[in-house]
Amino acid sequence: MITYTKTIPSANQLETLYAGVGWTAYTQNITGLRQAFEHSVFITASSGTELVGVIRGVTDRRTILYIQDLLVLPNYQHQGIATKLLQQLTVEYSTGQVVLLTDDTDIMTKFYTAVGMQAVDQHGLRAFFKDTR
């Protein structure tokens, strides 16, 4: 059974989850990642004591919710966990807009359109970013 909570995961849980989906850039500074959780809105998904998924975002709680991370361990994918995490966070932090950046792959496009999101180019918009790492 999957349980959903708002408890900041341990460093070991975060390292296992992020490494488990190949997000190794995050595992280089687990302390920094835990601090990011302290300053974010998030929901975790666990099976027993195993952290199997997480969604993390930032918001002004009025106009925008930016989804920073949404990940689920491969063995738990295609079970509705990511969908439930996204639904719970967007309902709890209901704002005018939900925004995210993701990989330009068919699987990401299928998932996000299936949950009601739209690509910005469909609305004459363009996204910009600057990587300052």
Domains of the chain: 2-101 (3.40.630.30)
Q: What's residue 117's pLDDT? A: 94
> Tell me, what amino acid is at 121?
D
| pLDDT profile of the chain (133 residues), mean per 10 | 96 96 93 95 97 98 96 97 98 93 92 94 89 84
Q: What's residue 131's pLDDT? A: 86
How far is residue 67's CA from residue 3's CA, in Å, rounded to a whole number? 20
Query: Are 54 and 17 spatial neighbours (Cβ–Cβ below 8 Å)?
Result: yes
- Kindly report the backbone phi and psi dihedral angles of residue 84, in degrees, each rounded to the nearest multiple of 5, phi listed first: -65, -40
